[in-house]
Structures are given as structure tokens and as C-alpha cells.
Chain A
């Protein structure tokens, strides 16, 4: 394997959790709900995935358990914000705080244990194609899921009737309700989908990226995923581009650290966070453009009249 291939592979591995979590949140926000609990759902996915893989020995079972855990955890958020109409920002924060706390306690006995790694697929022959062979055909299953998910979300949102309805709910929930669209039910489904994606993203971390459990192992990736949705102006393909950009920054700084370029490692490690800020500033500078793309009902409470 050449150095180039290795870097590409690691970039993809670093980008995949961001991509999956951001796609989930994209669907949630397109339906008009702002769930800031991505970090919490992701870390719950990571610990659940690790634990189930540990007990069953199957990374696949771990992955499915993580998806279920993320979805179940998001239901908590859904119940509060959609049924009890609590403040979405505060509730999302609560979900993150609870997720970080609960995962720390659940995972306490797993710290330091070697994890179960999800095997990569090797498609014989195709992986030998120079430069791109291993990147395209020698990745872990979650990588392929992430690509399919991007295609699927793009198709769903812009090519299907259900996607149109979901966008309509995010644009104007009052109008949607007047037309008889079940606003709350659609939002519940979107929130659960977002939770499932965040759970899957977490499983990628604890089953593929670093197959072990470390407290707070998401280290802000859920938040970066939230930033990616804004960066991508709520469009799936731009999320893919953004996630790989961030993957490249993450891997680039790791390689730079390994090469020992004389800059303290802490500074290099803070690059992804600083890059997030810079990217957000660049994208939000154009206020008109941001306003144009933001789902109009985003974060607003909806009380149906009866």
C-alpha cells in the first residue's frame, strides 16, 4: 500500500462518522427541528456498539445495537421537544450532557479493553487498481453505508413525495398542518432517523476508527457534524464534500504531528476545531444566502390547534 493510498484511506475513515451524523441531522433540520444532541447520541452509539460487540463478539451486532441506541436516545429528545414543546436548543444540550455522562458510566469497565474491529471488505482484483483501488473497494462496511446514505438522503429529499412533504414541514409547519400533513409524526420520524445515524456514526468510531472505548471519544465530532450541516447549506452532497474536507484536516494534522514539524501537538490537535470556526464564519458571512437556505421553521415550537 502506498503512502498516498494510506492517507486516502484514513481520510475516508475520519470523514465517515462526520458524514453519517451530519446526514442524519440534515434530515432532522430539514423537517424544522434543531437537535443539538448529536454528540450525545453519537457517544451513546459508540459505547453501545462497543459493549454489544464485546459481549457477542460480533461487530455487526454492535453496529445494529448502536443504531437502535441512537434512535432510542433521540426519542427522548423527540418526546420533550415535539410533545412537550420544550426549547429545542436547551433540550439538545441536555441530551448531549446526559449522553456523555451515561456513556462514561456504562463504559467505565470497558476502558483499556481491546475492541472488536469491523473487518474491511476486500474485493479481489479491484483492490489492486492503482491509487484508488483500496480506497474504493477495500474499505470497511460503514464507509459504503455512508456513501449509500448520501445518495439515499439526496434522492429521498429531492426526488420523492415523502421528501417533499418533509421539506414542506420544515419550511412552514402551520401551512403543512392546515393541509392535513401530520407535522409532529413526520418530525418524530426525522428525529429518530437522525438518532439512528448518530448512533451508527458512533459505532464507526468504536468499531472501526479506534476499536476501543475511550470516555468522551467523540471529542466534539457531533458538534462538527452540526457545523457541517450549516456549512453545506442543508444539501447532502455538500455535506459529503465538507466531511471529507474535515477528514483531510484531521488526518493532515495527525501526519504533521507524526512528522514532527516542530509545532506543539496540542496546536495541531486544535486545528479541526479552529477550522470549524473559520468555515462557519466564511459561510455565515453571507447573511442573505444563509437565510435563504435555512429551513424557515427550524427550531420554532409547533403547537397544533385542535
Chain B
């Protein structure tokens, strides 16, 4: 069924949402949102983490049902009750956290989202064809679990294009790409626009929005706070609209090193893959002195998690000298002993790795501190009784220090927002003044205020004489706080490059596996 289109056609937007509202429990994730997307435009949807972007597009796509409000498609009102209905209307979606199946092949993954029941061979052939047309090469017979993040995204996009949609929704598509890969994606998107398709482009990367998009709608706290032509705006003015006030600029005093003794060293770390879809590490070496922040860039799934676990001691090495912490060989000792040497670790996954979701904050404080702060938190000698009172006072200290907002005195970790929990988990480690800290994705899924606070805290720690390793996929973040940047690709770590000599282009080449020096040339 097609909508009624007036003679000139341009009057009626492709999609129009009116007063869309979605309430989860007591939280208004979307609050009366109006949105218009015209034919053949790339429309940006801007907003911080938690602003309601994902909820909004899930309602447009039919994955969530609005609490109230209307959606009109080509001028006609629809209740999009399921993703299948969204697809049949002509709305395609490329998810941020891909909705792919690791144990299935690319062709099977594609088949699952098509409503028609063609044989797999036909689907594979069409996927190849579409891939060629739009510059998205894929192997339909490959197991998705074995593919890189970039390849997975291609499958998502092809899957979407095969349904021949009029509107394609892309959720943070470049967050998993190198700058060069992102450029290729933009070419594909511009081509789609020239064919008259519309794109709803969700991002928090303002430079690319300015470059690519025709219009932008800005969300904050579930409400539309502005609509503009991003090409007439500056990145700073867009950021101000998103956040509602000026962004805190990280203060970074120049590094002063008195003695250049490395506090953390990795020497020739190699490791075989530990699970079906995990990455092998090859001959990784690094060395960081006090006062210094090393940023490790890289596309997800290139061995960052494996490197983190090797340095933290969650996975032991074969030889003790492979990891050295403050001059002590630590390759054969576990995470508690490495902490006792003065190291601290903050993993990427907050719930289920850095914290136990259904345990209280004080219990989660004990989680990483029971060995280093034995005297403070444990009493009763060999009985090792847990001292709730000293845990509570330490937790209170961290909450104040890091400005952690919480709804109860001692809530479960899962009851905190992403940003507040991350502030607590970083604060948990900073509270004991570690000489070495390794942080994986410090501000992933964290709101701008919390992110600024966390980055400043890491910089301050380094300037007070500690060695800091930040693993991140957010290049802007790395440029903001690092003294040196290296990149991980296929389980290898590149040479590090001082921040003064580093450019976006060069780090992109490093992330793509090109030699660092070649990139500079």
C-alpha cells in the first residue's frame, strides 16, 4: 500500500513522526518527539548517550511500541507493530550492536531478515551483486563469527539494501571503522542518496555529520532541542546543542618527567586465541614511564580485550618477564598480586566484568580491592571478616570524589546509569592512587559530562606520576588525552607515535594495518 502523494510529491515527507513518546517504567526515554525525513536526504539524529536516539529509531523500525504519538509513512498513518512490518513498508535498519549471528554464515544471516523465502544460493548471489554495486565486498559462505567488525557492518548494510528500502537507518555506523573505512562508507551513502533513498544517520561524531548530512535533529533528555542544517553549523555549536552547555575542555599540562623509569612494560607478548572467536596476540611490546598516557587505538575485535586481560593477569603469560610492573616480573602472577604491585585495571564491560550487576556498590568496591586494601576492609585475621563499615565509608568517599549520582544509599551496580557506574569503577581504582592504570574504553556509552570528568581524572593521575594506558575506539578521546598513540590491528601493536606527530590520517592507516612510518611519509 502506498501513501497518497500529491502532484508535486515534495510536500509530503517520506516519514513523519508526531509527538512520539516512550515511557519505560518511570523513565521518559522519548518525550513528544517530532521528526520529518524528506525523500533523498541524509538526516542526522544527534544526541548524547541516553538522549533517546536508540529508543526513537526502534519505534520507527517497529522493534518498540510507542507509548503515545503517531508515525506517518508517505503521508499515511501507520502503527509499526513489528520489524517485519517496518521492513515491508520500506524501512531498513543497520544496528550499532549488530544483530548478527556468529554461528551462521553471511548468507544465512542475510536470509533471516528477508521475508521472502528464496533459496540460500539465490540470496548469496544477490548479496554478491549488491556488494559489487555499492563497493561492499563480502563472502556469503563465511561464518560471521570469523569476520572483522568492518566486514560485519557490510553484511548488515547489504542485508538492509536487499530489502530495497526507501529509508535506511544507520546507528553509529562509523564508531567501529577506521577513518579510511568511514570515507568509503560515506561514498556508499552518498550514492544511495543520489538514487533517491533517504538515510537517517545517528551519530555523535559532529565533523562527519557536518560533512555528510543535509539536515539534523538534535535530542537531549528525550526531547527535540533543535533542528538545523549541519553544514551551516560548527562542531562546537552542534555540541552545545547536544549537551546543553559548553563542554569541559581537558586541561593538560605539558608532561614533566624527572626520571624515565618504566612503570609498566610488556616484552614480546604472544598468545594463542583462547576461544572460538578470540584473537591471537603477536609479539606485543610497550613501555610507559610515570607521568605518561599511552593511547591504544584500534577497531573493535583486534585483540584489545585480549591485551587487557594479559596485562591485568586475568590470563597469565608463560614467561614472567613478559609483563613487568614497577620493575618486577609479573607475567606469572595473578591479578591480585599485580594489583599489590601498584597496578589497577578498568575493563571495557562494566556489568559482568568490572562489576557484578546485582551486587551493591560496597560489595563491588571489595571486588577489586580485597587484596590491596586487606588491612582496611578485612578483619578477624585468618577468618577474613568483611568490614562493612569501612567499605561504606570508602564508597562514600569515591561517590563524592567522582560525583556519582545514585538513587539509594547502596544500590546494586545495575541500578546506576552507565556514566555513573563508570565514574564509580574508575574512582574505585583511583582511590588507592595506583602507579599504573590500564583502562579499556573509559567512556564507552557514557554521557559527555561523565566522560569529561573521567578523562580529566586520568590526565591528573598521569601528571601526578603514574603510568596510564587507555585503550579506546574513540579517536577524539585519544587525541585529547594521550601523550603517545599506538594502534592495534590483528593482534599486533604498532610502534607508538608522539601526539605532536600524530594525525587522524596517520592513526587511521595504523589501524588499518599500514606501517606507521609509511603513513607518515
Touch A–B, Cβ below 8 Å: yes
Residues in A lying within 8 Å of B, measured CB to CB = 161, 164-165, 167-168, 171-172, 174-181, 288, 291-292, 295-296, 305-306
| Among A167, A174, A177, A178: residue with most chain B CB under 10 A | A178
- Additional A-B contacts beyond A174-B99, A291-B276 (5; CB < 8 A): A164-B104, A176-B101, A180-B82, A288-B275, A306-B64
Interface string of B78-89 (1 = CB under 8 A from A): 000011101100
**Given A165-B112, A288-B275, A291-B275, A179-B83 contact (CB < 8 Å):** yes
Identify the closest chain A residue to B83 (Cβ): A180
What are 23 A-B pairs with beta-carbon distances under 8 A?
Answer: A161-B111, A164-B111, A167-B103, A171-B104, A172-B101, A174-B99, A175-B98, A175-B99, A176-B101, A176-B112, A177-B63, A178-B63, A178-B99, A179-B83, A179-B112, A179-B113, A180-B62, A180-B63, A181-B112, A288-B275, A292-B276, A295-B103, A306-B65
Size category of the binding interface on chain B: 20 to 34
How far does the Cβ of A13 sit from chain B's closest Cβ, in whole Å?
A: 35
CA distance A164 to B117 in the complex (A): 12
Shortest Cβ distance from B263 into chain A, in angstroms? 35
Q: Does B479 contact A (CB under 8 A)?
A: no
The 10 residue pairs across chains A and B that have the minimum distance between CB atoms? A180-B83, A175-B99, A178-B99, A292-B276, A171-B101, A171-B103, A180-B84, A180-B82, A168-B101, A172-B101
Residues of B within 8 A of A174 (CB): 99
Please indicate the chain B residues that have their CB under 8 angstroms from the CB of A168 in the complex. 101, 104, 108, 112
Chain A interface, >50% SS class: helix
Residues of chain A contacted by B99 (CB below 8 angstroms): 172, 174-176, 178-179
B61-111 with Cβ < 8 A to chain A: 62-65, 82-84, 86-87, 95, 98-104, 108, 111
Looking across the interface, which residue of chain A has its beta carbon closest to that of B118?
Answer: A161
- A residues within 8 A CB of B101? 167-168, 171-172, 175-176
- B86 CB, min distance to chain A CBs, angstroms: 8
Min CB distance, A163 to chain B, in Å? Answer: 11
A293 to B325, CA, bound (A): 39
A164, A165, A168, A288: which has the most chain B beta carbons within 10 Å?
Answer: A168
Least CB separation from B87: chain A residue = A180
Whether A167 and B275, one on each chain, are in contact in the complex, defined by CB atoms closer than 8 angstroms, is no
Residue of A nearest to B120 (CB): A164
Question: Which one of B83, B102, B104, B111 lies within 8 Å of A178 (CB-CB)?
Answer: B83
When distances are taken between beta carbons in the complex, the residues of chain A under 8 Å from B276 are 288, 291-292
Question: How far apart are the CA atoms of A211 and B82 in the complex, in Å?
Answer: 51
> Inside 8 A of B108's CB, which chain A residues have their CB?
164, 168
Specify which of A165, A167, A175 lies most central, judged by the most chain B CB atoms within 10 Å of its CB: A175
CB distance from B101 to the nearest CB of A (A): 4
**Residue from B84, B103, B275 with most neighbouring chain A CB atoms (10 Å):** B103
Q: What B residues does A295 contact at CB under 8 A?
A: 103
Give bound CA distance, A267 to B483, whole Å. 70
User: What CA separation (Å) do A164 and B104 show in the bound complex?
Assistant: 9
Q: Are A296 and B103 in contact (CB under 8 A)?
A: yes
| A175 and B83 in contact, given A161-B111, A164-B108 (Cβ under 8 angstroms) | no
Decide: B104 and A167 in contact? CB cutoff 8 A.
yes
Interface residues of B in 387-415 (CB under 8 A from A): none
Bound-state CA distance A180–B62 (Å) is 8
In the bound complex, residues from chain A placing their C-beta under 8 Å from that of B95 are 178
Residues of chain B within 8 A (CB-CB) of A288 are 275-276
Of B83, B98, B276, most A-chain CB atoms within 10 Å: B276
Chain A residues with Cβ below 8 Å from B64 are 305-306
Q: How far is the CB of B30 from chain A (nearest CB, A)?
A: 14
The distance in angstroms between the C-alpha atoms of A291 and B276, with both chains bound, is 7
Determine how close the nearest CB of chain A comes to the CB of B199; give it in whole angstroms: 19
Please measure, in the bound complex, the distance between the C-alpha atom of A181 and the C-alpha atom of B113, giving whole angstroms: 9
| Chain A residues within 8 Å of B82, by CB | 180
CA distance A175 to B64 in the complex (A): 14
Q: Digitize B259-275: 1 where CB-to-A-CB distance is under 8 Å, 0 elsewhere.
A: 00000000000000001
Chain A residues near B84: list those with CB within 8 A.
Answer: 180
Chain A nearest CB, measured from B295 CB (Å) = 31
Most chain B C-beta atoms within 10 Å of own C-beta, residue among A167, A171, A179: A179
Rounded to whole Å, the gap between the CB of A172 and the closest CB of chain B is 5
> Are A164 and B112 in contact, with the CB atoms below 8 A?
yes
Most buried by B among A165, A174, A288: A288
B102: chain A residues at CB < 8 Å are: 171-172, 296
Contacts of A178 in B (CB 8 A): 63, 83, 95, 99
Tell me the bound Cα distance from A159 to B86 in angstroms: 27
| B279 CB, nearest partner CB in chain A, Å | 14
Q: Which residues on the A side are within 8 Å of B86 (C-beta)? A: 180
A296 proximity list for chain B (CB < 8 A)? 102-103
Instruction: Return A11 CB to nearest CB of chain B, in Å.
Output: 34
How many angstroms from the CA of A291 to the CA of B277 in the assembled complex? 10
Q: How far is the CA of A295 from the CA of B112 in the complex (A)?
A: 17
Cα distance A176–B87 in the bound complex, in angstroms: 15
- Residues in chain B near residue A161, CB distance under 8 A: 111, 117
Q: How far is the CB of A303 from chain B (nearest CB, A)?
A: 13
| Contact string against A for B residues 225-240, beta-carbon threshold 8 Å, 1 for contact and 0 otherwise | 0000000000000000
For A179, list chain B residues within 8 Å (CB). Answer: 83, 99, 112-113
Report A-chain residues with C-beta under 8 Å of the C-beta of B103: 167, 171, 295-296
- CB contacts (< 8 Å) of A164 on chain B: these are 104, 108, 111-112
Chain A residues with CB under 8 A of B83: 178-180
How long is the Cα–Cα vector from A174 to B100 in the complex, in angstroms?
9
Residues of chain B within 8 A of A176, CB atoms compared: 99, 101, 112
Q: How far is the CA of A161 from the CA of B117 in the complex (A)?
A: 7
Complex-state Cα separation, A296 to B102, whole angstroms: 9
Chain A proximity of B452: nearest CB distance (Å): 29
A305 to B100, CA, bound (A): 18
The smallest beta-carbon distance between B215 and chain A, in angstroms, is 27
Give A167 to B62 CA distance when docked, in angstroms: 23
Select from chain A the residue with minimum beta-carbon distance to B81. A180
Query: Nearest B residue to A290 by beta-carbon distance?
Result: B276
Q: In the docked arrangement, what's the CA distance between A291 and B62, Å?
A: 34
Q: Which of B99-142 contact A (CB under 8 A)?
A: 99-104, 108, 111-113, 117
Cα of A177 to Cα of B64 in the assembled complex, Å? 11
The chain B residue with its CB closest to the CB of A164 is B108
CB proximity of A183 to chain B, nearest CB, Å: 12
Considering only residues 239-284 of chain B, those with a C-beta below 8 Å from chain A are: 275-276
Name the B residues within 8 Å of A181 (CB-CB).
112
In the assembly, what is the distance between CA of A288 and CA of B280, in Å? 14
For B111, the closest partner residue in chain A by CB is: A164
Q: Smallest distance from the beta carbon of B270 to chain A beta carbons, Å?
A: 18
What is the distance, in angstroms, from B76's C-beta to the closest C-beta of chain A?
21
Closest CB of chain B to A29's CB: distance in Å? Answer: 13
Residues of B within 8 A of A292 (CB): 276
CA distance A220 to B98 in the complex (A): 42
B273 → chain A closest CB, angstroms = 8
A174 to B102, CA, bound (A): 12
Whose C-beta in chain B lies nearest to the C-beta of A162? B117
* CB nearest neighbor in A for B113: A179
